Structure 1
Amino acid sequence: MTGSKPKELAIPFAAHESKEATEVLRAWIVDNGLHVSLQRGFDDAAVWGVLLTDIARHVSRIYETEGVGTAAEALAKIKFTLDAEWDDGTDVGTTSAIQ
């Protein structure tokens, strides 16, 4: 796949319409590994807890919309695995600044 264009998601419509919109997170699966671009974005780290929880809820609804299971089942699996990874991560990765 040399030279192929990465499969980017669309920017949400509301971001185009808003006078104040900031991207805080991009997540990519590259060669079966997670790569992210992010910025701190918030003064209070607790806001990330809300953001990540909201993302999990959106993901669970996608599973239901696509007929893979119920949103409740998907959310329970996400939370179970999040708790397990939190307690004993399989790969905690590294973080470095990109200029």
Structure 2
Amino acid sequence: MSSSLRNPPKDPAVRARMLHSTGLDPEVRAYVRSSPGAARLIERSTRRALALLDQVTDGRRVDLHVVCGGGRHRSVAVAEDIADRLRVAGIGVETEHRHINRPIL
């Protein structure tokens, strides 16, 4: 994931309000999504996932990993946006946020 995505814990304007929220919170998702290049990153990642899925013809699953420094805000927001787009495309999607409950870095 691009380091240029806006990170709530590092922004003094929203830190107090969003620090203990996660990328599952609509306000955090909108904040991350408002980063320059976020829409392009999400669209490109969705296209790549769909291309991989087109190559799988034997029922195997495709895993997509989205990472960031802490795993609570940016990666969660981006993963959820990609999952939403895949669902709209008729793809069954499960999300797992492995670090969402870890302490804030």
Q: TM-score normalised to the size of structure 1? A: 0.28
Q: TM-score normalised to the size of structure 2? A: 0.27
Structure number with higher relative contact order (C-alpha < 8 Å, ≥ 6 residues apart) = 2
| Rg larger in structure | 1
